[in-house]
Each structure stands twice: as structure tokens, then as C-alpha cells.
Amino acid sequence: MHFSLVTLFPEFFDSPLSAGLMAKARESGTVDFSFRNPRDATTDRHRTVDDRPYGGGPGMVMLPEPLAVTLRALREDAPRARILMMAPRGRRFTQQLARELAREEHVAILCGRYEGFDARVEELFDIEPVCVGDFVLNGGETAALNVIEAVARLVPGFMGKEESGEDESFSDGLLEYPHYTRPEVFEGLPVPDVLRSGDHGRIAAWRREQSLAATLRLRPELLPEAPLTETDMAFLRHKAAETVERPGRNLHCALVHYPVLNKEKKSVAVSLTNLDIHDIGRCSCTYGLGGYYIVTPIEDQRRLLDGILRHWTEGPGLAANPDRGEALGLVRGADTVQDAVDDITRRTGQRPLVMATSARGAGDTTVGQVRSILAERPVLLLFGTGHGLSPHLVAACDGTLRPVRWMDGYNHLSVRTAAAIIMDRILGDCY
């Protein structure tokens, strides 16, 4: 496989491409490299490759001309080369992309410097921007080295045993299991017995479980896309249940019936609906929430709620449908939002962060922010009935979640649907 590197600093690659397995792979001809320096395509006395940005601002931009000359020469020599451009705004580099690139005969990589490339280069040539992570490096050379190493080691013949590239982190969507070598006991820590048992079936099963447990603990966002068997799922379910710090338990929600807006935008109290109590209760239970509050100060509505809850949690409904009893066991009445806040504070020992939800406005908090807060403290999500939470209640909250489907013209969801979507976005299957 051939890599062409378009760089102002070819010498940058001297040492990394001359060490270890890479050196051997070059010797055996498994991979080889060529370098093109855009500075060689300049025509002025100073061999200029950059200039100030139009529109002002800091830094310099790589001139399009030397790059265009370099890329035209590259295209002529290697018409089928796949050309990547290292750029923070590019497609994220992953093991999957590495596998895809390892099937190419020729990969060319453009390494940027300064503020990057003049944007017209990308319009003129068939180039794929690629990013190695959400951070900014000084130049594309270190990013290119990431790509080269990850791709080259998947090229047949690079590693002694070809399978070793198939049994690693990300190769099957999971993190890898832990490795151990001699001595058997190191500073008091023994190697797990199973690894010395010689029983290959047990070792494989143990490794799979370690891999699943590590992914659940460290990178749960990988699990929804990972291919999982029923055995894997049963193991993860069991593991998740014993992980006490699952953040779903820190999430609480309240369905507010007062103060909410009516059609005329006046603050009013609205009546309870059986469907909202049941459906949001079932959703809260499914996502493992810490509690679901029905907020209404109206006495007869509270009595109605108590009657419904008694029926399902201790009355005839419980025997008829115990699952429903479990879900409604999570529901509590509260006269005001403050009462719900006080109840959570009493039960968890921490005052919850109160987060409003709304179909309008820009919001000031993202789902990701709520997810990180949950790791530290409880959050109470407020859902409004009627035409939404009253503005003075929203203003008293600690924040407002960005609306669901805010980019579309129509986002009139029922409160049950909005609650389900928001819970899923915050907690998904694996948080």
C-alpha cells in the first residue's frame, strides 16, 4: 500500500516511520511512502506558501496555488489515489474508516499548517476532510500519523498474525478486555484464575464479559451500535442493574398542571389526565427515573390522583397488572414544583437542578449538559400541560432544555411524546 504525504515538513515523518513494525513493513514493501512539499511548487523568491486571511483575523492561510500544482501532479501520477485532507471539521477518523482505507492501494494525505487551507482547494479537487478528534493540533502531520498507523497495521502482512487486527478495541464495536502477562502475582495483584485455567471456552467467555463491562462503564455510547447477542444483553442487563451510580436514578420529572398557559396565554390550572399519569409513569419506570411528580394544588385533583394511584399500586389494578403497579409506584403528588424539589432534596440529600422544557425559544441547556450534571446531582425536568409552563415558572428554573425538533417548522408534540423523546435523548438505552 502506498501513502503520499503532502506536507511542508517531510522531515517530521523521519523517525515515526522508521521505527518498529513500520520500519519492517517498509523493508518488506508492505507499505511505502512518498512526500510532496507544496513549497517545491512555489515560483517566488521566498518560496511563499501562506498569506493573510481575507476578512482579517489571526493567523495565516495556506495559498491555493502551490497546493493545486502539487495535487495536479499527484493526480497525474496516481489517478486512483484516495485523497484525504487533515482538518478538524472533517469526518471523524474511526476504526471503521481505517478498515475501509486499508483496502485502498494508494492514500494521499494533505497536512495543513497555520489556519489551514484556502477553501477553494477542496472545491477544485476530490478531497475528503478527516478529523482525528475534537481538538486542534498545530499541524496535520501528527493527525496524518494517526491515520497511517491505524491503516497500515490492517494491511495484510503488516502484523505477524493477521487476526490480531480483528480482536482489538473497536474492531467489534466494543472496548477490549484487559491483558496480563508474567509474573503471576505482581505487587500483590494476581492474574485472574480463569486465564491460567487452560480452558479456552471459559477464557473466551470471560474476555467477552470483560469487554462488555468495560464498554458499559467507560464508553456506554458505543453499545447501541455494537453487535450484541442475547447472552451479551443478559450480561449487560445484570451488570447495569448492579452499577449503583446509573445516572437514570438521578433524573426526576414533574408534570405541571399549575401554573401553565391557556390558549389566551393566561396562567391557569388544568385538569389531570389519566393517560399522562400512566404513560409518563411507564416511561419514567422504563428509563429508571428516580421519581415522577404530578404537580397540582387543586384538592379534588389531588384526591383523583390518589384514587388512581391507590387502584394501581394497592387496589384491584395491582393484581390485574402488576407491571402497571410498579410504574405508578414511581408517581407522587405535589402541590407545587417547590414541594417536588423539597421531596427530592429530602430523599436524595441533594437539591435537584430544575430544568424547564418548552417547544418555544432557544433553551440554554443541551441534553449532553443534563447528562453530565446527572453524574453529580439530581435533575428535575418540568413538563407543562395546557399550552406550556408559565413564563414566570420557567424564569425561576435553573435552565431550559433546548426544544425537540427546533429546526423544523412543526414541533407540536403531546407532553407524553416530548417526555419520552427527552428521556431517551438523555438516557438512551445505556445510561
Ligand X SMILES: C[S@@+](CC[C@H](N)C(=O)[O-])C[C@H]1O[C@@H](n2cnc3c(N)ncnc32)[C@H](O)[C@@H]1O
Bind-site residues for S-adenosyl-L-methionine: 112, 132-137
Exactly one of 64, 140, 352, 403 binds ligand X (CB under 6 A); that residue is 140
6 or 328: whose CB is closer to ligand X?
Answer: 6
DSSP state, residue 69: H
Is residue 228 a contact residue for ligand X (CB under 6 A)?
no
Exactly one of 16, 88, 220, 315 binds ligand X (CB under 6 A); that residue is 88
Is residue 136 a contact residue for ligand X (CB under 6 A)?
yes
Is residue 102 a contact residue for ligand X (CB under 6 A)?
no
CA separation for the pair 415, 205 (Å, rounded): 44
The annotated binding site is made up of 112, 132-137
Is residue 111 a contact residue for ligand X (CB under 6 A)?
yes
Residue whose C-alpha cell is 440529600 = 349
Per CB under 6 A, the segment of 76-84, 86-94, 100-108, 183-191 that binds ligand X is 86-94
Exactly one of 21, 60, 68, 137 binds ligand X (CB under 6 A); that residue is 137
| Pairing status of strand 251-256 against strand 260-261 | unpaired
Exactly one of 1, 98, 143, 155 binds ligand X (CB under 6 A); that residue is 143
Task: Compute the least distance from the CB of residue 5 to ligand X, in Å.
Answer: 12
CA separation for the pair 365, 401 (Å, rounded): 5
DSSP state, residue 118: -
**DSSP bridge partners of 92:** 131
96 or 197: whose CB is closer to ligand X?
Answer: 96
The answer to whether the beta carbons of residues 422 and 381 sit under 8 Å apart is yes
Task: Compute the least distance from the CB of residue 112 to ligand X, in Å.
Answer: 2
Output b/e per residue, 320-344; b: 16+ Cβ within 10 A. eeeebbebbbbbbbbebbebbbebb
Is residue 94 a contact residue for ligand X (CB under 6 A)?
no
48 or 273: whose CB is closer to ligand X?
Answer: 48
Exactly one of 64, 66, 112, 378 binds ligand X (CB under 6 A); that residue is 112
CA separation for the pair 278, 270 (Å, rounded): 17
Exactly one of 28, 94, 96, 138 binds ligand X (CB under 6 A); that residue is 138
**Alpha carbon 311 to its chain's center:** 41
Is residue 139 a contact residue for ligand X (CB under 6 A)?
yes
82 exposure class (CB count in 10 Å sphere: 0-12, 13-18, 19+): middle
CA separation for the pair 297, 259 (Å, rounded): 10
Residues near ligand X (CB under 6 A) are 86-89, 111-113, 115-116, 131-133, 135-140, 143
